[in-house]
Each structure stands twice: as structure tokens, then as C-alpha cells.
Amino acid sequence: MDTLGHLQSHHRDFHSFHDVMVDTQAGRFNEEYWDFFSKWIAPALVPNSRALDMGTGPGGWLTMMKARYPEVGICGIEVVPIMLETARLTGAEIGAEVVAVDLSSNDWSENIDGTFEVGHCSMVLHELLNPFSLLENAAKLIRPGGRLFIFDWCRHPLADYLARKEEEPPLDEDTFQHFSEHARFSPDDVTLLAERAGFREIARHHRDVAHVMLAYQRKGG
């Protein structure tokens, strides 16, 4: 199954998926998020720095990043057509590049020009058929000493997952499919993959029992 087919099997309707990402971006990229970013990721930013958002969705992070760090060049990459459409409009408004790239492909980094001081990946790893490919390719694009910020779901109990829903979901195939994807990796699992790709962990912070923020430095710097 290709990436779009895999995502559609999970989210069913890309328009609803797009709207959820827009509606939740303020909560995802809140002050707690930016405090972590400022402490562990921003030190890699130097004059003429560039930042790469892998799986930018509708481009909310691009706007927030540009508002906080206007001197940084920003590139977002995405594969879902409706997300790309919104992200490209956003990019045109703020001067950010947006590129159509499938993050599950083996050599997607070949479609991106230049290198970056910062890489960012929010709520993406758990979606990918091959998450290691993202990290391997990120290591080719992030310069030695640069930083990688991963914010994602992490392994947590079923009871906590069910409790997050506004209404108690049925215990059916769809619920268990979503739970298995959202509780797919522990933070240590992600760090194992990141280290094999060429990064070292420098910080982690649990936003809650189901979400973790991880900061990595590209080895060699």
C-alpha cells in the first residue's frame, strides 16, 4: 500500500483530516511546545539558518515558526493533496517553500535542495509505513550539529486512549486500528531509530501520558 492509501485507510476522509489538523494546531504548538523548542532546538539556529518541516500538513507550523523566527528560511514537505493546497497558500503568504514529497519513499531527500540547521516532525512518525526512512533521509539533510524535533504520540495504556475521546468509542476494529497506530512507539523506540539514523538524543519531555517531545542532535557536530 502506498502512503496516500495507508493514510486514507486510517483517516478515511482527507477533508476531515485537514480540518482536524487546522483546528488542533494551536493546542499542539502551545507555549509548552515553544518553550521546549527554544531551549533544545533554537540553539542550532545561526544567521541564514534553514528549518525543514517534514509532514507540514496545512502549514500551521510554518506560520508560527516564521512569526517567532522571521530570519529563518523555512521549507515544508507534504504528500496529501488538500494539505498541500493549503500549505502552499500559506507558504506564498509568508515566504516559505512547500514541496510535494512522500516521506515513506526511500530517497525522498534527493528532492530537497540544500541542508538545514533544524528538522521538525510533528504527529507524523506513527503514520508512516517506514518511519526509519524519514529519519535516515533527515540525517542527509540536517547538517552535523543541527537539531531534530519530534513531537508525536507514544505508547500508552488503552484506558488512557479511550478516556481521551469525548464519547466512549465502540470497541470495534476501527478503534483498535487507531489505538495500535497511536500507541505504536515508545520514546525509547524512536530514539533507537534516530540513533541508528545518525542522531543522538539530547532531551525529552512528556506533554502527557500519550504524547512526547524529543530533541536530537545530528552526530558529527
pTM metric for this prediction: 0.88
CA dihedral sign of residues 82, 90, 21, 187: positive
Q: What is the pLDDT of residues 159-213, one digit of tens each?
A: 887 887 767 788 888 777 777 787 789 999 999 999 999 999 999 999 988 899 9
**Is the model's pLDDT at 80 over the cut of 70?**
yes
Output 85 or 155, whichever has higher pLDDT: 85
* CA distances (Å), origin 210, targets 106, 145, 173, 213: 29, 29, 21, 11
Q: Which helix (H) or strand (E) holds 200?
A: strand 199-208
Q: Are 154 and 188 in contact (CB under 8 A)?
A: no
- Going from N- to C-terminal start, the domains of the chain cover 3-218
Q: Determine the distance from the C-alpha atom of residue 134 to the mean position of all C-alpha atoms in its chain, rounded to a whole number.
A: 10
Output 24 or 218, whichever has higher pLDDT: 218
* Residue 39 exposure: Cα atoms within 13 Å on the Cβ side: 12
Q: Give the burial class of 74: count Cβ atoms within 10 A of its Cβ; 0-12 exposed, 13-18 middle, 19 or more buried.
A: buried
The terminus-to-terminus CA distance of the chain in angstroms comes to 38
**Is the model's pLDDT at 8 over the cut of 60?**
no
Q: Mean pLDDT over residues 109-119, rounded?
A: 95
Superfamily of structural domain 3-218? Vaccinia Virus protein VP39 (3.40.50.150)
